[in-house]
Structure 1
Amino acid sequence: MEDKQNKYEWLKTLAFVVIITIAIRTFLFTPVTVDGASMEPTLHDREKIIVSKTINWVGEIHRGDIVIIKDREEKLNYVKRVIGLPGETIEMENDHLRINGKEIKESYLTEAKEFTSQHGTKLTENFGPMIIPEDHYFVMGDNRPNSMDSRGVAPFSLGYIPKDRIIGKSKLVIFPFQNIRITN
């Protein structure tokens, strides 16, 4: 009788753990693997990151957030940085980002900007001014020369990203273990 009781307790505990794990992955956090070099040097190809999925019911999306975006066909996800918010006017001229006419410093691009200035190249072509539609975001990769993002025209661009396609925000790198760090 006691053996049967122990098995029942183990099964209850296991079922509880499975339910909690599914709930956490569905509503709170999920691991995502970075695919490609579009976010270099901030995130590297094949790194595993933890993504907070709470933006749909807690918090907001801010400029500079690293977000995970569902593909239109939902075959894969993109990892990009939010550059422009709904209703803003965005433009880029000579690698200087302007939002609503005000220049925005992109501290996460310091290393890339130093490299391009030393080599006489640009991070990105000039564009804009463009007005971001309501409930949409303008995203770019940190590795601007190698990023499919909101610049350009579909199918060679992601275009403006509707809020409902944003899965969540990157919080930290968890693998490889020697690269564990908070993302921002």
Structure 2
Amino acid sequence: MMAILEFIVVCLAIVFVFKGIIMPIKVDGSSMYPTLHDGDLAFMSRLDLNSKQIKRFDIVTLDCKQLDNVIIKRVIGLPGEKIVYKNDCLYVNGKYIKENYLNKSHIKDVKSRYNISYFTDDFEISVGENEIFVLGDNRVNSLDSRELGCFKIENVLSKKGIILFPFNHMKGMN
């Protein structure tokens, strides 16, 4: 009887952790490459998902109703901001913002391979209140807010975390 009770307690604890604290996610596709690779397994945090805790450049998972799927992207625009990309440069409310997380050699390779001038095509968008604007790190191969529109804060399922598998990809995600 005690073993059954212990088993039930352990199962409930596991459910609580995975429903309330940690979200396992398997990366599907190359939209976040080279930061994340197709097939990477990560655990991401379900804590602090309100608009004050979500920061620019956080990696987040989102409940994407349009695709009926969970997607993983990087936060670029926060509530109420005007986002402009011009000549591969990000401007937020008119101020240039450096994107240090982007892999320069990957960008150069992609531009050469696809014979394109810009990694991120020029665009302009205003982010609504209680919304975020997200992009994949692999801009030429990402279905993101440019096509799907901004996401409501309540659509954020998790943020940040750690890649656990494969072991040679193990690292923290910021």
Structure with greater contact order relative to length (CA < 8 Å, sep ≥ 6): 2
Deviations 1:148-168 (A, max 9, x none): 1111xxxxx221010111101
Give the equivalent residue in structure 2 for 1:68: 61
Superposition misfits of 4+ residues, deviation over 2 angstroms: 55-59, 110-121
After alignment, is 88-97 or 170-179 more displaced?
170-179
The offset of 1:120, in angstroms, is 5.8
SS for the counterpart of 1:11 is helix
Aligned counterpart in structure 2 of residue 177 of structure 1, from 155, 167, 171: 167
Distance 1:73 1:13, change over 3 A: farther
- Residue pairs, 1:1-184, within 5 angstroms: 8-56=1-49, 60-72=53-65, 75-111=68-104, 112-115=106-109, 121-128=117-124, 130-151=125-146, 157-184=147-174
CA contact (8 A) 1:49 1:170 kept: no
After alignment, is 39-48 or 64-73 more displaced?
64-73
SS for the counterpart of 2:157 is strand
SS for the counterpart of 1:25 is helix
CA contact (8 A) 1:116 1:122 kept: no
Give the TM-score taking structure 2 as reference length: 0.91
Larger Rg, first or second structure (1 or 2) = 1
Q: What is the alpha-carbon distance in structure 1 between the residues aligned to residue 168 and residue 149 of structure 2?
A: 35
Q: What is the alpha-carbon distance in structure 1 between the residues aligned to residue 109 and residue 90 of structure 2?
A: 18
CA contact (8 A) 2:85 2:122 kept: yes
Query: Matched residues, percent identical?
Result: 35
Q: What is the alpha-carbon distance in structure 1 between the residues aligned to residue 150 and residue 116 of structure 2?
A: 30
Give the equivalent residue in structure 2 for 1:4: none
Distance 1:42 1:135, change over 3 A: same
CA contact (8 A) 1:174 1:181 kept: yes
What value does the CA root-mean-square deviation take over the aligned residues? Answer: 1.9
**Structure 1: runs of 5+ lacking an equivalent:** 1-7, 152-156
Give the equivalent residue in structure 2 for 1:5: none
CA contact (8 A) 1:35 1:46 kept: yes
Aligned length: 171
The offset of 1:75, in angstroms, is 3.3
Give the TM-score taking structure 1 as reference length: 0.86
Distance 1:15 1:57, change over 3 A: farther
